[in-house]
Amino acid sequence: MLFGVVDDDDDVRRALTRLLRSWGHDVSLFASAEDYEEASLLADCLIVDMRLPGLNGLELHERLLLAPRRCPSSSSAATIGPTFPARAARRRS
């Protein structure tokens, strides 16, 4: 399985890479949502930081929902501001 990890924190990318590779998965790393979009990679699953500078994780997720070929994604953030849960809830309905 190919995982895409999108996070601006080098330590987080490194830790997730070690974990996922220890489980036998392939991993591609991206420091920004824009880097991921430019790569045109179709990962089996994405792990995306919600608080990315520039295009944030929720915005990337929204763009991916509109793409003709989709992949499952998981979002993470140490802290999430008050607007993120409301925006994410609207996407589910």
Give me the CATH number covering residue 15.
Answer: 3.40.50.2300
> pLDDT value at position 73?
56
Containing structural domain, residue 53: 2-92
> pLDDT value at position 93?
47
**Number of Cβ atoms within 10 Å of the Cβ of 39:** 12
Tally of structural domains, the chain: 1
pLDDT in tens, 25-67: 999 999 999 999 899 888 888 898 988 999 998 898 888 888 7
Count of helices and strands (H, E) across the chain = 4, 4
> pLDDT value at position 45?
87
* Single-letter code of the amino acid located at 33: A
> pLDDT value at position 79?
45
Instruction: Supply the pTM of this predicted model.
Output: 0.75
- Give dist(CA 59, CA 1) in Å, integer: 24
Under the banding of pLDDT at 50, 70 and 90, the label for residue 80 is very low
